[in-house]
Each structure stands twice: as structure tokens, then as C-alpha cells.
């Protein structure tokens, strides 16, 4: 039960991160680049048969969150963390 809840929370975090907008355009772009670098191999390995569009790749990544590399998970979690107020 705890593991299922934790996995659910991680999936929700991934979904939120993949759809959240950053406070500034430059930081948002930098975050997307970091995620792209960390997660491209995972996306290709886990979601290569998925046709892009309508959020299908994003959903594949959410569905397979527990199989993502630690680097990809870390990038998603770091991007989800609240940015300091300016």
C-alpha cells in the first residue's frame, strides 16, 4: 500500500512537472533542456512505439515512471521543486 501510494505520488509529480509552466521563459527553457537531456534515452527505450501527439508520449512516461532512469527522475523532481521567489 505504501509503495503504491508512493508510486502514485511520483506519477502525479511527473504529470505535474511535464505540464507545469516555469516562472520565467529562460528558466522554463533551461528546465525543458535538462529534462530532454536526462529523459530522451528513457523515452526512446520505453515509449518508442507511441505515436507523438495528443499527450501520448507524456502519458507513456507517466505510466512507466517507475522504470525511468534515476537521472530522468531526478531532473523531473528538480524541475517540480518550487523556484525561489524573485
For the chain, give every domain's residue range: 2-78
pLDDT of residue 17: 67
**pTM for the full predicted model:** 0.62
pLDDT of residue 44: 93
Answer whether residue 1 shows pLDDT above 60.
no
Element (H, E) at 12: helix 2-19
DSSP 45: H
pLDDT tens, residue by residue, 6-65: 777 777 777 776 665 445 567 778 888 998 999 999 999 999 999 989 989 888 988 999
What residue has cell string 495528443?
54
Amino acid at each position: 500500500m505504501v509503495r503504491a501510494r508512493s508510486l502514485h505520488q511520483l506519477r502525479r509529480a511527473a504529470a505535474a512537472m511535464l505540464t507545469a509552466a516555469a516562472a520565467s521563459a529562460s528558466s522554463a527553457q533551461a528546465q525543458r533542456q535538462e529534462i530532454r537531456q536526462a529523459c530522451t534515452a528513457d523515452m526512446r527505450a520505453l515509449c518508442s512505439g507511441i505515436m507523438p501527439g495528443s499527450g501520448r508520449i507524456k502519458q507513456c512516461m507517466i505510466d512507466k515512471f517507475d522504470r525511468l532512469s534515476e537521472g530522468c527522475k531526478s531532473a523531473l523532481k528538480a524541475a517540480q521543486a518550487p523556484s525561489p521567489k524573485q
